Chain A
Amino acid sequence: MLEQMAKRSVPLLKQLLSSSAAASSSCSSRFTSHRSVTYMPRPGDGSPRAVTLIPGDGIGPLVTGAVEQVMEAMHAPVYFERYDVHGDMPKVPQEVIDSIKKNKVCLKGGLATPMGGGVSSLNVQLRKQLDLYASLVNCFNLPGLPTRHENVDIVVIRENTEGEYAGLEHEVVPGVVESLKVITKFCSERIAKYAFEYAYLNNRRKVTAVHKANIMKLADGLFLESCREVATKYPGIKYNEIIVDNCCMQLVSKPEQFDVMVTPNLYGNLVANTAAGIAGGTGVMPGGNVGADHAVFEQGASAGNVGNEKVTEQKKANPVALLLSSAMMLRHLQFPSFADRLETAVKHVIFEGKHRTKDLGGNSTTQEVVDAVIAALD
């Protein structure tokens, strides 16, 4: 009977082997998705959705222009409502806020922050007004992009509203300045819940809380307490804690041990930038800010980075980060197949390596990369 089974299975095996050999023979076929997943939409989901677009400063208009072009080429059911906001405005105009509240989704380029006094960052203001309490940066190794570290796949979830960036500073006497870092149980709990939910919904195995509770015992201690409470509700997900300086050291030497990281505000900034740096740079890492009602997608990690004038003049900004963020946005809007197509095309362009901007080691302009992505869309 075993012989009969073997005889029957041989032609099947041959077929499987031949089909897989055919599939791997050309690299392009590796990237056209032979999906077995069918996304079933609700009737009426295909109607175009409005998305607020804020081009921003510096390289912002360049990269958001890139996204608009690609969306048009894909005929994605989104249309953009443009609003001009610049970093030196005292606050975000009310019409922009109203538009975001109506559309619920926004895509934005970086807003420059003037330093050292006066106006507080518009990026932070926007997050506070819309209560976007979770900032997410997804750092992963792109195939074809050489980096010093392999096997990086980290998602940094950072509390976005309180902590060190509360902006509560005052001068006690001339020469002595105090800044308040506020940690509340409410905010820590909701960010921990978001992190664990994200891990659960995206099939992630481990959540790591980053803190400095050996020094700031009450503040980070409260954060850790909230994380531990939420961890007990998700027994299938491993939870551990790591001190922030040790965390940075481990990120630089052994990044494969991290999966999802949940952090308060300041540490999240540093950890996200470090993780983005080891995985290829902030020019390629997607990210977004999400709250209970709204979501704003922007380049991951340093959203306040608007590049320098040289890059803007030569039009050599890297659009990959914002393109991948807009793919995240498409998934958020429940257009997963468009998101898949966009991501596949972008990864294909990076893998080929012919069109890369300066920060990835190439010499192309933004427009060339966009054209390559449009050509790679199937």
Chain B
Amino acid sequence: MSLQSFLSVFRRGTLFPFSPSFVELERVKFQHIPQTSPAIMAFKQILSRALRSRPDQILSSPSAFSAARAFSSAPITATLFPGDGIGPEIAESVKQIFREAEVPIEWEEHYVGTEIDPRTQSFLTWESLESVRRNRVGLKGPMATPIGKGHRSLNLTLRKELNLYANVRPCYSLPGYKTRYDDVNLVTIRENTEGEYSGLEHQVVRGVVESLKIITRQASLRVAEYAFHYAKAHGRERVSAIHKANIMQKTDGLFLKCCREVAEKYPEITYEEVVIDNCCMMLVKNPALFDVLVMPNLYGDIISDLCAGLIGGLGLTPSCNIGEGGIALAEAVHGSAPDIAGKVSSIRPLLIFSHVFSKS
């Protein structure tokens, strides 16, 4: 996938508006980088949000170095979790690209420990979580949860401790990568804390299992607020709430009620409600019909993966988790791929270097 396409993705939508000169810098620097990772894409979004608050003294110029010197902002500290499997290699390439672009980021790396930290009840240490809370911006590589060790999964720990309530996944058709769908341009916002994934299951009698799906007003309002705020900040025109309230009347009915309340506060954004089976069908027939989608946990999981499939797979999808207090943790949604770890070519960083130097 060419970097042109990556940049067009970047330009089309980020979490928050960004300064155009930053994009100029990127384009000049990275004309021919052959590959990049979705982690970078996700992180760019957070970075732009951080940089937006900096004074805009950057001059748009063809020379990358002079533009870099004009960056007068203090470096931002960000937490980096390289993860497992191919994680460290991808994290390394992210760091290199950012270093060459002279992006003012200082990485604080944290690794998954080998024994359970009693304060967090998982392999992640208290220091790691504290650093994310302090820096408010983080990047996470794929983490493999060891199976059967009888503790919380790592992703679940992060989510619960940092109160990450919304998962945002922008899905755009990348111009350089041909799939069957060319006009995908939507964002899925998924409630991340409750719903069907509360994990509350029990066996009533032998052969009968009950699983609880919980929807609360507070969580639904929170994610609906974020969805409309995102839509407004990015100039999106429509927000669609996805539900199955014709069958699950009280639970999805409550979710819809909360969405409607928030929709009234944003009269300039069109709000519609779509039943999930219609939504699935419309997505595979004509994905251009949708703009921003907001949904509870389970539907969000399935729909966001379906949208990832439309644009070419999990390897190309950026994703970001938003937490209370403005914490943003970008992540790579793919797995750790232990079978190809170590085989990822080490030629790649060399390519990056060689092209950068050839341009300067």
Give chain A's interface residues, CB within 8 Å of chain B: 113-118, 120-121, 124, 148-149, 164-165, 167, 169-171, 174-186, 212, 215-219, 221-222, 244-246, 248-253, 266-267, 269-270, 272-274, 276-278, 281-282, 301-302, 304-305
Contact status B196-A216, CB under 8 Å: yes
Find chain A residues with CB under 8 A from B310 CB. Answer: 252
The docked-state distance in angstroms from the alpha carbon of A19 to that of B77 is 78
Pairs A–B under 8 Å by Cβ, sample size 24:
A113-B247, A120-B249, A121-B246, A121-B247, A171-B250, A174-B217, A175-B217, A179-B212, A180-B213, A181-B196, A183-B211, A185-B207, A215-B199, A216-B196, A218-B211, A219-B209, A221-B209, A249-B308, A249-B309, A251-B306, A253-B309, A269-B276, A277-B283, A277-B285
The residue of chain B having its C-beta at the shortest distance from the C-beta of A218 within the complex is B201
Residue in B209, B250, B256 whose beta carbon sits within 8 Å of that of A169 in the complex = B250
Asked whether any CB of chain A lies closer than 8 Å to the CB of B216, the reply is yes
Contact status A273-B212, CB under 8 Å: no
B301 to chain A, nearest CB (A): 5
Contact status A115-B246, CB under 8 Å: yes
Contact status B305-A246, CB under 8 Å: yes
Find chain A residues with CB under 8 A from B314 CB. Answer: 249
Band of interface residues on B = 35 or more
Asked whether any CB of chain A lies closer than 8 Å to the CB of B53, the reply is no
Residue in A117, A165, A278 whose beta carbon sits within 8 Å of that of B284 in the complex = A278
- Those 3 A-B pairs whose CB atoms lie nearest each other, nearest first: A249-B309, A185-B207, A245-B305
Find chain A residues with CB under 8 A from B88 CB. Answer: none
The docked-state distance in angstroms from the alpha carbon of A244 to that of B298 is 10
Contact status A248-B309, CB under 8 Å: yes
The residue of chain B having its C-beta at the shortest distance from the C-beta of A279 within the complex is B284
Contact status B208-A302, CB under 8 Å: no
Contact status A169-B249, CB under 8 Å: yes
Q: Which of B103-150 contact A (CB under 8 A)?
A: none
A12 to chain B, nearest CB (A): 45
Residue in B181, B211, B245, B256 whose beta carbon sits within 8 Å of that of A219 in the complex = B211
Residue in A169, A182, A252 whose beta carbon sits within 8 Å of that of B208 in the complex = A182
Find chain A residues with CB under 8 A from B199 CB. Answer: 215-216
Asked whether any CB of chain A lies closer than 8 Å to the CB of B251, the reply is yes
Residue in A177, A182, A246, A248 whose beta carbon sits within 8 Å of that of B214 in the complex = A177
The docked-state distance in angstroms from the alpha carbon of A253 to that of B254 is 34
The residue of chain A having its C-beta at the shortest distance from the C-beta of B308 within the complex is A249
The docked-state distance in angstroms from the alpha carbon of A61 to that of B313 is 42
Contact status A250-B213, CB under 8 Å: no
| Supplied contacts A117-B249, A302-B277, 11 more A-B pairs, CB within 8 Å | A167-B248, A179-B214, A183-B209, A212-B298, A217-B201, A219-B211, A245-B306, A248-B303, A273-B281, A274-B281, A281-B285
The docked-state distance in angstroms from the alpha carbon of A164 to that of B207 is 17
Asked whether any CB of chain A lies closer than 8 Å to the CB of B218, the reply is yes
The docked-state distance in angstroms from the alpha carbon of A299 to that of B280 is 17
The residue of chain B having its C-beta at the shortest distance from the C-beta of A267 within the complex is B302
A256 to chain B, nearest CB (A): 13
Residue in B209, B276, B303 whose beta carbon sits within 8 Å of that of A182 in the complex = B209
Asked whether any CB of chain A lies closer than 8 Å to the CB of B17, the reply is no
The docked-state distance in angstroms from the alpha carbon of A115 to that of B303 is 21
Contact status A116-B256, CB under 8 Å: yes
The residue of chain A having its C-beta at the shortest distance from the C-beta of B247 within the complex is A165
Give a binary string over B182-222; 1 marks a CB under 8 Å from any A CB, 0 the rest. Answer: 00000000000000110101110011111111111110000
The docked-state distance in angstroms from the alpha carbon of A251 to that of B302 is 12
Asked whether any CB of chain A lies closer than 8 Å to the CB of B282, the reply is yes
